[in-house]
């Protein structure tokens, strides 16, 4: 490399750094897209819109919610993984997209650990074991006893074997040595209708999906999957009372494409934590179902993600769930 070429290379590098610095310094100067893998009106969608409205006010730019449901969360995750890491595309992700898909599929068009920059943890999303309000099944012990006495007769509906709810249903069967018939549905809405109509006995789903129906007395929660009682449903037993050590809680978080500039990630983390610390917003999230988590840094969220990969990988092995 001659001297002139070397000088031009240095100048180009300096220009690129200056451009990046200016971009970071003015961020955000246009609308920010928030992709999520759930449909309009779902629990994650409602919470994403709450956060988007708050962030728009704090940062002075619209946050546009872009719903890309389907494909076991793969469609939305792939879109974000291939987006420019400039702070203008975010992913409102769930446990499935960032962790369990790794153990459900032999190949993914994205790498959950390498293709995203952890931004902020949003909320825990406990699951519940639910029955029709008029069901003769009164408790988890009753459910397990019935499934053992007549294997295959009692049915547990869930959103599919390769979903977080499906993993929970299979884990209940395995740890209880139960004989329930696990029935997959294309959606929680369809499964809920079948349980309410008496076509299925039990439903495993996230609390947010059926919280309103439970409040109205049309469904009844037998247990929640968190290790401790959850806010708003303190009278509902935890599954760990019947199956010691049971702990299967979903969650929601925000990530960005890998290599998104650290100053942008740090600012987003601070603004999101500030919003979640507002009791009024936390109460609105709780009314949907999930429980706002204590504030944490993006580095703490990254460590949590890695620990979840290890823990849920062990669960997948325990229930014999092989990637397809």
Sign (positive or negative) of CA dihedral 148, 154, 159, 161: positive
Q: CB count, 10 Å around CB of 196? A: 19
Whether residues 154 and 55 share a domain: the answer is no
pLDDT tier, 70 (very low <50, low <70, confident <90, very high otherwise): confident
Whether residues 131 and 115 share a domain: the answer is no
Whether residues 312 and 166 share a domain: the answer is no
State what percent of residues in the chain have pLDDT above 70.
92
Whether residues 219 and 200 share a domain: the answer is yes
Q: Tell whether 2 is covered by a domain.
A: no
Residue-averaged pLDDT of the chain = 91
The answer to whether residues 33 and 23 touch, using CB atoms and an 8 Å cutoff, is no
Q: Tell whether 324 is covered by a domain.
A: no
Buried (b) or exposed (e) across 153-172, using 16+ Cβ within 10 A? Answer: ebbbbbbbbbbbbbbbbbbb
Q: Tell whether 173 is covered by a domain.
A: yes
Whether residues 209 and 305 share a domain: the answer is no
Helices H, strands E: what count in the chain?
Answer: 12, 10
> Rounded to whole angstroms, how far apart are CA atoms 121 and 295?
8
Tell me: pLDDT of 13 over 50. no
Last residue of a domain, one of 175, 207, 241: 241
Q: What is the mean pLDDT of residues 102-128?
A: 94
Which token pair is 88?
């203008």
Q: Tell whether 8 is covered by a domain.
A: no
What CATH number should be reported for the domain holding residue 193? 3.40.190.10
Q: What is the mean pLDDT of residues 34-60?
A: 94
125: Cα separation from own chain's centroid: 7
Whether residues 107 and 134 share a domain: the answer is no
Per DSSP, the three-state class of 246 is: coil
Q: Residue 140 is part of which domain span? A: 126-241
Whether residues 97 and 184 share a domain: the answer is no
> Count of domains in the chain?
2
Last residue of a domain, one of 241, 266, 297: 241
Last residue of a domain, one of 241, 266, 286: 241
Q: Is the peptide bond before 28 cis (omega within 30 degrees of 0)?
A: yes
User: 274: exposed, middle or buried (C-beta count within 10 Å: 0-12, 13-18, 19+)?
Assistant: middle
Q: Tell whether 5 is covered by a domain.
A: no
Q: How far is CA 317 from CA 103, 104, 170, 321, in A?
A: 9, 11, 12, 6
The answer to whether residues 220 and 47 touch, using CB atoms and an 8 Å cutoff, is no
State what percent of residues in the chain have pLDDT above 90.
79
Whether residues 283 and 191 share a domain: the answer is no
What CATH number should be reported for the domain holding residue 97? 3.40.190.150
- CB-side neighbour CA atoms (13 Å) of 81: 17
> Rounded to whole angstroms, how far apart are CA atoms 172 and 202?
12
Q: What is the mean pLDDT of residues 281-294?
A: 91
> pTM value?
0.85
Tell me: pLDDT of 171 over 50. yes
Beta bridge partners of 250: 125
Q: What is the mean pLDDT of residues 172-185?
A: 95
Whether residues 217 and 177 share a domain: the answer is yes
Whether residues 136 and 215 share a domain: the answer is yes
Whether residues 160 and 184 share a domain: the answer is yes
User: Given this model, what pLDDT does residue 121 score?
Assistant: 97
Q: What is the mean pLDDT of residues 227-249?
A: 94
Whether residues 171 and 194 share a domain: the answer is yes
- Please write the tens of the pLDDT for every residue from 17-36: 444 444 456 999 999 999 99
pLDDT tier, 64 (very low <50, low <70, confident <90, very high otherwise): very high
**Nearest Cα to Cα of residue 33 among 96, 88, 107, 115:** 88
- Please write the tens of the pLDDT for every residue from 140-150: 999 999 999 99
**DSSP one-letter code for 238:** B
């Amino acid at each position: 490399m001659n001297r002139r070429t070397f000088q031009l290379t240095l100048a180009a590098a300096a220009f690129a750094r200056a451009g990046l610095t200016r971009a970071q310094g003015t961020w955000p100067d246009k609308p920010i897209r928030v992709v999520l893998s759930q449909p309009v009106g779902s629990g994650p969608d409602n919470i994403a819109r709450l956060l988007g409205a708050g962030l728009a006010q704090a940062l002075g730019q619209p946050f546009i919610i872009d719903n890309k449901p389907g494909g076991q969360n793969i469609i939305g995750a792939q879109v974000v993984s291939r987006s420019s890491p400039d702070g203008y595309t975010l992913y409102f992700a769930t446990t499935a997209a960032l962790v369990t898909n790794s153990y459900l599929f032999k190949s993914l068009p994205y790498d959950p650990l390498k293709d995203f920059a952890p931004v902020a943890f949003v909320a825990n999303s406990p699951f519940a074991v639910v029955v029709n309000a008029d069901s003769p099944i009164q408790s988890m012990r009753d459910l397990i006893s019935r499934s053992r006495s007549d294997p295959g007769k009692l049915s547990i509906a869930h959103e599919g074997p390769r979903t977080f709810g499906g993993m929970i249903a299979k884990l209940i069967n395995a740890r209880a040595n139960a004989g329930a018939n696990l029935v997959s549905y294309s959606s929680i809405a369809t499964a809920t209708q079948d349980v309410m109509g008496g076509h299925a006995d039990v439903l495993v789903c996230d609390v947010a999906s059926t919280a309103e129906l439970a409040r109205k007395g049309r469904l009844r929660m037998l247990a929640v999957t968190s290790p401790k009682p959850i806010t708003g449903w303190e009278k509902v037993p935890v599954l760990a009372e019947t199956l010691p050590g049971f702990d299967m809680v979903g969650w929601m978080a925000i990530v960005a494409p890998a290599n998104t500039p650290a100053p942008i990630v740090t600012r987003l983390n601070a603004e999101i934590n500030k919003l979640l610390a507002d009791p009024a917003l936390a109460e609105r999230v709780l009314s949907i179902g999930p429980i706002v988590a204590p504030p944490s840094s993006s580095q703490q969220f990254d460590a949590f993600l890695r620990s979840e990969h290890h823990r849920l990988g062990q669960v997948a092995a325990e229930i014999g769930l092989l990637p397809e």
